[in-house]
Chain A
Amino acid sequence: MLGTTWLAKLRGGLAACGLLAVAACGGAGGEDGPVTVSVWAWYPEFKGVVEAFNASHPDIKVEWTNAGTGADHYAKLKTAITAGKGAPDVAMVEFQQIPTFVILDALADMGEHGANEDEDLYAEWAWKQATDGEKVYAIPVDGGPMALMYRKDLFDQHGIPVPATWAEYAEAAVKIKAVDPDAHIASFGSDGGWLNGLMWQSGCRPYGYSHTTAKDQVKINLTAPECERVVDLLGDLVDKGLMAKDPFFTADATAALDSGKYWTWAAAGWTPGYLAGSLKNTTGKWAVAPMPQWTAGADEQGDWGGSTFTVTKQAKNPKAATIVARELFGKSEAAWDIGLNKAFLYPLVKDIAADPAFTGKAYEFFNGQKVNEIFVPVSQKLGDFQFTPFQDFVYSELDDRSAEAMTGGRPWGTVLEETQKNVVAYAEQQGFKVSK
């Protein structure tokens, strides 16, 4: 065990030192040549974005490293931050992780370098999550407004109405099972971020935290009725065998999506891009509808995922790093051309999301449907939603407790109760005053 932990740490440290050396070497020659800014990010097709930036900024040179996706990237970043050296100047960080890195004292305030100017550029909800008062900790890039993907051909063929409410969703699940005993309406994916997005869409606001106002106070309320009803409904579908149990993003789940085993997926603005590459058999058979509502006729929306650029406190030239964070995507047409058409990011830059080139784009995967006409209003509708400064722990609890329920080891009704209990205990152990 010691061996593994230390080896992993050492390796992270060595890799990071290597990068640091590169950055330091490049950065030293600031007056003669361009300033070098190191960036860690895992966007697809990111190479072209970096090249576009370097081409349009003769005074700054971005050195890009893909340090892994999600958890791997964060493990390295957190290690470098704890070590006090080895972190990149600019790091990609997802929205739910921003408060975590803020409390680790990892992020520089870009507000000091004029980043507050960008406020009007971005979707309001995203800017709120990226900032804390006047402090700008992150520059939004892409988001994950949620909508319901469904197999239009199968729904049409069997005369099942596309669910507009969650009650109708449960009814559709029964009908689908009756039509095809091997099929499920969807899979319960054991993904904390996904469940969080669904709870957000239900009007549940389980967390509250502001580092500026009170760094040791956090609000946790996962047992509000708006949160509970999500788990109750989905759990019931799982228990009845109407919803499958495959974790998302596994080969099994993808195969099931592509073979008519799942008829829907409550997914995010980035999902079409992710799926278009891997679902070959069912291209053109999918369509997107707005999320089912908890109250008929309501318009509650949620978000799953999305990311930002942050400047770390280890940045040697925070000013140049801020420029990189703001302008890698920002208003850059060249970058968004790649972001929208190759990487299939959902843009949080308001003008780009509202551009007819984006909203009017017809997707072959959705049989020519202009799906952004659905996603864009969702993003505009999204309101305030906060995260805890230990969101990894919360998601891990959500995952583990719902996995227990999925295998029959725990009633679904206690998943959020137990998560709440464990998260509160953890928060208190970490020195927070917890309110509900």
Chain B
Amino acid sequence: MLKAYYYLLFRDLRLALRNRHELANPLIFFVLVVTLFPLAVTPTPETLQTMAPGVIWVSALLAVLLSLDRLFKQDYEDGSLDQLMLSPNPLVILVLAKVTAHWLLTGLPLVIIAPLLGLFMSLPMEAVIVLIYSLLLGTPVLSLIGAIGVSLTVAVNRGGVLLSLIILPLYIPILIFGANAVDVAMAGLPVSGQLLFLGAVLALSVSLAPLATSVALRITASR
């Protein structure tokens, strides 16, 4: 069972490494949006600081949203998804492998580049550290919840709008608590409340989202 998890994870990572330009898309989107913002507003350190948590978090969220399509689309179109569903291994484990690969390829790069953008938006060091933590806890949730939406819409032609409608409401709490943690850190207040909330949501979605995703995939396949 664990083997099936690793095999699928490595297959997805290998596929992504052979297709690097696709890999760079969400990251470039993230960097571009955050760097364009100071050009559009008065770039005084104070304005940038107030906007920074929100701007960085919203761009990270949209970057993940844009990359979600990749999660099951290719497998659906070439029939591999059927083979995954016909595997003797539990579908939940395979879904978890695919989501892990998705996070390693989109969420993790965002977390790594975020501190640089934080400094660029003249965030103080304490806030940058909290930004890393909040993204580290928040981006896996974005991938996990996104997987539910993608599995419902993968069979729909141009399902992008539908996908956003389904999952954006579920993303909002993550956005609020993630950005708020950085805000609070800038004010020098304790952030453990926000981070614990993000951690709890992460634990909840790791245990429940793959189940929901595999049920949704079976519904999609039965059409």
A and B together in one complex: no
